[in-house]
A and B are shown apart, each in its own frame.
Chain A
């Protein structure tokens, strides 16, 4: 099972994401931003960082990179895609997920472990978790304040598209304490906290994040990929 990890200029967490894929028992495949070729991978992770220096808006330039022009139609056809932090911002800019990420309400860069609740364990990236399972995962962002129109937020809630929610209030000001969402089909998930930094108690606050990656392995095994 092969899971692609995209590297953009300015990506930081691609190697941790690849390590998490290995921990979950799959093979990480490095994908390059300037390359159209998805190399036949079974799923794709857009990692955290500051793609293209966060110029214009976070994720706004990455959206138009060659790898994204291949990824957008593949995601629409059901390819599992996980966007973490900057990856979430890119997915919103590419309209694969609704809403947008704006400046943290207190303007400070936030870097700390946060408690999350898994609200939807029925996505390609969360099926290893139980409903309402509590996770402790690092959050590190300057622009993680999730905003969307009220009607969009209502729709996300109604459709069960809120995947993870901050348990102690959103430190970045996100609407309705939303930490991560999915698309309608459930194959595309984006979240601001970093599960790839919480796969091993030696290097993170917990191993709670590993489930995102084992979920994909489980989901792909189910489809015979």
Chain B
């Protein structure tokens, strides 16, 4: 299971980085939004970053739930079929 372990390692690292990035982006977003600069575009970019980071945090938190749900629903659907009609 080396490949699986390797992929899981990467995934864990990606999750850790993603959490950190979320926080960073959120902070940067608020910093831009709250900065005393009268440029609307900069402030709007800050607003966008805050929104993205919140969504990212949401999907990060929901990750295991999403996959659990997929596994549950698809496995339920994939129950054995009835026997085909015989001519």
| Chain B binds chain A | no
Report which A residues bind B (CB closer than 8 A).
none
